[in-house]
A = this chain, B = another copy of it.
Amino acid sequence: MRGKIKILDIETGNLAIFINPEDAEQWRIHPNDLVKIESGKRYIYGSAFIGNIVEKGEIGISKDVLSIHQFSNGEIVSLSPAGTPESVKYIKKKMRGEKLKKVEIETIVRDIVDRKLRNTEISAFVSAIEINGLDMEEIAALTIAMAETGDMLDIERKPIMDIHSIGGVPGNKTNVIVVPIVAAAGLTIPKTSSRAITSAAGTADVVEVLTNVTLTLEEIKRIVEKIGACLVWGGALNLAPADDLMIHVERRLSLDPRGLMLASIMAKKYAIGSQYILIDIPTGKGAKVESMEEARSLARDFIELGKRLGQYVEVAITYGGQPIGYTVGPALEAKEALETLMTGRGPGSLVEKAIGLAGLLLEMGGAAPKGKGKIIAREILEKGKAYQKMREIIEEQGGDPDIKPEDIPIGDKTYTIHAQTNGYVTAIDNRGITAIAREAGAPEDKGAGIRLHVKVGDKVKEGDPLFTIHAESESRLDKAIVLARRLEPIKIEGMVLQVIENL
């Protein structure tokens, strides 16, 4: 059928295309059928919803559709039912445990981007990969296909450095310090980051406290070519869009098959043109990677995949068994990072990690002789050159470079948990800390989070403060306190772990 576009003020999280019941009957379209709308070279697939909120001859589209193509009210488009996408055959091939060809993977990825494959089919693909795996050749094909079906950045400065930290460790604002150090040394590092998905703050959430992180690819190109760095939110860009759609499904199933994790990370790097990539794998209890053995195996995969993509990859396995620094939550972390950049000093776990990683990047990029990277990185940080570069980043991205740590608003509803016994801190539970910070409102409430007063190994006396919860509202604070009491995320040697009552 041909019909007139009507933009509806509805967001469904998927692409919804509304047609009138009369049209549906005439064109034999049933609710949730896959349909295609097209006009000239623009086309997109979506799910048919049927109802009287559009007239006969009108084709309603949810706002989600506009994020893909700009259709305008009243525009005439054609709509047709779509059959089962060809790529379903290849998904079934992976279910049978067979290896997929490059062209088959490309077809799947193209169909995901076109929304021809919806969550149901993507879920089958993700499940098949979870069960039957992908070999390195398939992962490389997937990575390239994901990158090439989205926008690509071409920065006219070489070499392009990049860093990525595997998630799971709360308080990991390290890259907010690494990036300005590396750029201050004259290297180019167009850093894109994600927002928190299951954590209390992603790097993009933290940087957003200091400056704008939602930029276009053109703005990024201009800024990076001018000052050598950026710290932006990758989600605002159309980099490897298939990845976001797959991650949505993985998250709902709490799956994270290795092949997809590798492809997901490296596709974004490939799209941004990164040539020298440092992968940080925080390893330890409560991190995404818990054992050294797993970390080493993952490291080998990253290096091997990089080779196939023409990228030089190094991997740093770092300690991820407790939070980095003393703060968790966007504003608290931004404050800690800014203080560290301004003074050149900060918590050991943060500073040592940042200059260690930055040093490796300096060596990889030829800005420091082998073995001297960390020393030079420390000098750049301590002499204020990293802070100077951070000011440029903040300013170019549209923020106020004069922002001071004390300007950053922190949630003023607070509650402090105290030690109930004397002893040494033996463990800080990453997952517990994250859960409490999220319950307090992070990452949506920027000022919410946790300030730790102790780290593992510290000696405490009964009554000493262990950590303070910050929230922006009393109700969130109350919920976080309840959770904190239940989880007791900081363990002290000699502490009674559980009391079994004699009922």
Binding site for B on A (CB under 8 A): 8-14, 16, 18, 28, 30-33, 47-53, 62-64, 84, 88, 91-92, 95, 97, 118-124, 126-128, 130-132, 249, 252-255, 444
A120 and B253 in contact, given A10-B18, A128-B127, A131-B128 (Cβ under 8 angstroms): yes
How many whole Å from A237's CB to the nearest CB in chain B?
A: 20
In contact, B121 and A121 (Cβ under 8 angstroms): no
In contact, B253 and A10 (Cβ under 8 angstroms): no
A131 and B9 in contact, given A88-B254, A121-B252 (Cβ under 8 angstroms): no
How many whole Å from A93's CB to the nearest CB in chain B?
A: 12
Between A30, A31, A88, A119, the greatest number of chain B beta carbons within 10 A of the residue's beta carbon is seen for A31
Q: In the bound complex, how far is the Cα of B127 from the Cα of A97, in angstroms?
A: 12
Q: Which residue of B lies closest to A49 (CB)?
A: B12
Work out how many copies of this chain go into the complex: 2
In contact, A91 and B14 (Cβ under 8 angstroms): no
Q: Identify A92's interface contact among B8, B12, B253, CB under 8 A.
A: B253
Chain B residues with CB below 8 A from A13, complex form: 30-33, 47-49
Chain B residues with CB below 8 A from A121, complex form: 123, 252-253
Chain B residues with CB below 8 A from A120, complex form: 119-120, 122-123, 249, 252-253
Q: In the bound complex, how far is the Cα of B119 from the Cα of A47, in angstroms?
A: 13
Q: Which residue of B lies closest to A126 (CB)?
A: B124
Closest 8 CB pairs of A and B: A13-B32, A13-B31, A10-B51, A123-B123, A127-B127, A11-B31, A119-B120, A9-B52
Chain B residues with CB below 8 A from A63, complex form: 51
Chain B residues with CB below 8 A from A249, complex form: 120
Q: In the bound complex, how far is the Cα of B97 from the Cα of A127, in angstroms?
A: 12
A92 and B51 in contact, given A31-B11, A120-B119, A124-B124 (Cβ under 8 angstroms): no
Q: Which residue of B lies closest to A117 (CB)?
A: B252
Q: In the bound complex, how far is the Cα of B120 from the Cα of A122, in angstroms?
A: 8
In contact, B253 and A91 (Cβ under 8 angstroms): yes
Q: Can you list 26 residue pairs at the A/B interface with Cβ under 8 Å?
A: A8-B51, A8-B53, A10-B18, A10-B49, A10-B51, A11-B31, A13-B48, A28-B444, A31-B64, A49-B62, A88-B253, A95-B130, A95-B131, A119-B119, A119-B123, A120-B120, A120-B123, A120-B249, A121-B252, A121-B253, A123-B123, A123-B124, A124-B126, A124-B255, A127-B127, A131-B131
How many whole Å from A355's CB to the nearest CB in chain B?
A: 37
A254 and B84 in contact, given A51-B9, A120-B123 (Cβ under 8 angstroms): yes
A9 and B47 in contact, given A124-B127, A124-B253, A131-B132 (Cβ under 8 angstroms): no
Q: In the bound complex, how far is the Cα of B119 from the Cα of A128, in angstroms?
A: 16
Q: Which residue of B lies closest to A84 (CB)?
A: B254
In contact, B14 and A32 (Cβ under 8 angstroms): yes
Q: In the bound complex, how far is the Cα of B253 from the Cα of A84, in angstroms?
A: 8
A53 and B126 in contact, given A253-B120, A253-B121 (Cβ under 8 angstroms): no
Between A8, A30, A47, A49, the greatest number of chain B beta carbons within 10 A of the residue's beta carbon is seen for A49
How many whole Å from A82's CB to the nearest CB in chain B?
A: 12
Q: Which residue of B lies closest to A48 (CB)?
A: B13
In contact, A11 and B51 (Cβ under 8 angstroms): yes
Chain B residues with CB below 8 A from A28, complex form: 444
In contact, B12 and A47 (Cβ under 8 angstroms): yes
Q: Which residue of B lies closest to A123 (CB)?
A: B123
Q: Identify A11's interface contact among B50, B62, B84, B252, CB under 8 A.
A: B50
Q: In the bound complex, how far is the Cα of B132 from the Cα of A14, in angstroms?
A: 30
